DNA sequence: ATTTTGGTTCAGTAATTGAAGAACTAAAAG
DNA sequence: CTTTTAGTTCTTCAATTACTGAACCAAAAT
């Protein structure tokens, strides 16, 4: 087969490039390294949502190894996914934005978690710091309250969103 | 005045030390460097809530410089505060846990912010990726919904908590 | 059978971070 | 006015991060 598959040349406007940087920086603040952050942002902004290893690599001026490592990190942390097409060895990577509901659940879970740690702390605290203990108690109470009520709030959004 | 002020020797149980580590690691995940994270955790767990430079320094085995830098970071980011006592040059540092309401407000603000970025991205997206766009749209809608409804939920907690 | 494709893995490196230590300083005590 | 206290600031150092480039490899194409 001589017909070389035409690489879809994704061209991004300056605005789109800026959005990649902005979103990339946001991901870095969440603790992701720069390269994975950029990849994730590219897969969010690119008009073509499914990009090959080399498209990503070229667009972000990364080395093969950096691209490989970053993609594998994103894959193992469930932030991206890839599909294949029969008769094409390439993998097409895509942002798993459809997973946002799962991600939100994860964030809520983290709230429970920190409430638990704070509660353990509260249990070790002496009685002679009532103001401090009250603040801590309130915070824990608030976190638990949020935990209990967020699911209902989510369902409420779901309804109005149908 | 010859009476050397007795340094209140804060002694922490193993459980409390572990809690400091756990809470410290949690802070590191939020992007704080190790030393500030430990200090913040110590000021949460310590039965004495107001500690001097040297008490902190000694308890965490930090150098003076590390202690100084870390404390100043925590001060400028409003995570701790200090009080003084007349006729005592030392500053007594304390965790500003009472500020948790402010902090929560900050987190909510961050939701708005990311919704804004995502909306900008949505506006640049082509029409030929309807599934992706729908997911993005839903996420934005959900974030906005949360933003609009969280204040009321907070007030609800406030009432039940009186 | 050998070349190309689509990567992975490894060794090395440059930049950044986080802390240590020593020198320094301003205010208060002696 | 000298010393002590309560830190700050500066230089240095070690560890870690985030990448590059080169070698490598398995499957598919030629």
Residue-wise pLDDT for A105-149, tens only, equals 999 999 999 999 999 999 999 999 999 999 999 999 999 999 999
User: What is the residue extent of each domain of chain B?
Assistant: 14-95, 100-160
The pLDDT confidence band at residue A8, using thresholds 50, 70 and 90, is low
Closest residue of A to B46, CA-based? A125
Are the C-beta atoms of A123 and B15 separated by less than 8 Å? no
Are the C-beta atoms of B135 and A81 separated by less than 8 Å? no
CB A65 under 7 Å to nucleic chain D: yes
Q: Which residues of B touch A26 (CB under 8 A)?
A: 114, 117
User: Given a cut of 70, is residue A11 above it in pLDDT?
Assistant: yes
Backbone angles phi, psi at A82, to 5 degrees: -140, 155
Among B92, B112, B108, CA closest to B100: B108
| Separation between Cα atoms, residue B155 and residue A93, nearest integer Å | 43
Q: How is residue A123 written in tokens?
A: 């249990």
CB A85 under 7 Å to nucleic chain D: no
| Separation between Cα atoms, residue B153 and residue B148, nearest integer Å | 10
Picking from B20, B33, B37, B98 by the largest number of A CB atoms within 10 A of its own CB, the best residue to mutate is B98
Q: How is residue A12 written in tokens?
A: 């991004």
Structure confidence at residue B162 (pLDDT): 79
Of A19, A29, A95, the CB nearest to B120: A19
Give A14-95's CATH code, choosing from 3.40.640.10, 3.40.50.620, 3.30.70.980, 1.10.10.10: 1.10.10.10
Q: Name the DSSP letter for residue A3.
A: -
Strands A88-95 and A51-52, sheet pairing: antiparallel
Q: How remote is the C-alpha of B26 from its chain's centroid?
A: 10
User: Given a cut of 90, is residue B1 above it in pLDDT?
Assistant: no
Q: Which residue is nearest to nucleotide C10 (CA to C1')?
A: A65
Picking from B48, B97, B127 by the largest number of A CB atoms within 10 A of its own CB, the best residue to mutate is B97
| Separation between Cα atoms, residue A145 and residue B135, nearest integer Å | 28
The pLDDT confidence band at residue A3, using thresholds 50, 70 and 90, is very low
Nucleotide nearest to A89 (CA to C1'): C6
Chain A: nearest CA to B9, how far in angstroms?
A: 15
Structure confidence at residue B81 (pLDDT): 97
Per-residue HEC secondary structure of chain B comes to: CCCCCCCCCCCCCHHHHHHHHHHHHHHHHCCCCHHHHHHHHHHHHCCCCCEEHHHHHHHHCCCHHHHHHHHHHHHHCCCEEEEEECCEEEEEEEECHHHHHHHHHHHHHHHHHHHHHHHHHHHHCCCCCHHHHHHHHHHHHHHHHHHHHHHHHHHHHHHHCC
The pLDDT confidence band at residue B79, using thresholds 50, 70 and 90, is very high
User: Given a cut of 50, is residue B2 above it in pLDDT?
Assistant: no
Rg of chain A taking only CA atoms, in angstroms: 22
How many beta-carbon contacts under 8 Å exist across A and B? 101
The pLDDT confidence band at residue B10, using thresholds 50, 70 and 90, is confident
| Separation between Cα atoms, residue B94 and residue B43, nearest integer Å | 6
Structure confidence at residue A10 (pLDDT): 82
Q: Which residues of B touch A32 (CB under 8 A)?
A: none
What's the distance, Cα to Cα, between the start and end of chain A in Å?
A: 48
Q: Which residue is nearest to nucleotide D7 (CA to C1')?
A: B68
The pLDDT confidence band at residue A9, using thresholds 50, 70 and 90, is confident
| Separation between Cα atoms, residue A33 and residue A72, nearest integer Å | 13
- Rounded to an integer, the average pLDDT of B54-76 is 97
Are the C-beta atoms of A44 and A23 separated by less than 8 Å? yes
């Amino acid at each position: 087969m001589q017909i070389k598959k035409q690489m879809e040349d994704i061209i991004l406007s300056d605005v789109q490039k800026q959005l990649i940087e902005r979103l990339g920086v946001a991901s870095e603040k969440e603790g992701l390294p720069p390269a994975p952050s950029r990849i994730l942002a590219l897969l969010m902004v690119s008009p073509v949502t499914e990009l090959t290893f080399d498209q990503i690599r070229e667009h972000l001026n990364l080395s093969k190894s950096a691209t490989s490592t970053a993609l594998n990190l994103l894959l193992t942390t469930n932030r991206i996914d890839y599909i294949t097409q029969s008769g094409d060895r390439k993998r097409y990577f895509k942002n798993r934005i459809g997973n946002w509901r799962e991600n939100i659940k994860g964030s809520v879970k983290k709230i429970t978690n920190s409430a638990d740690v704070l509660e353990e702390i509260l249990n070790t605290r002496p009685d002679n710091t009532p103001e401090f203990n009250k603040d801590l108690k309130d915070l824990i109470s608030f976190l638990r309250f949020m935990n209990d009520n967020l699911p209902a709030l989510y369902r409420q959004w779901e309804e109005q969103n149908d």
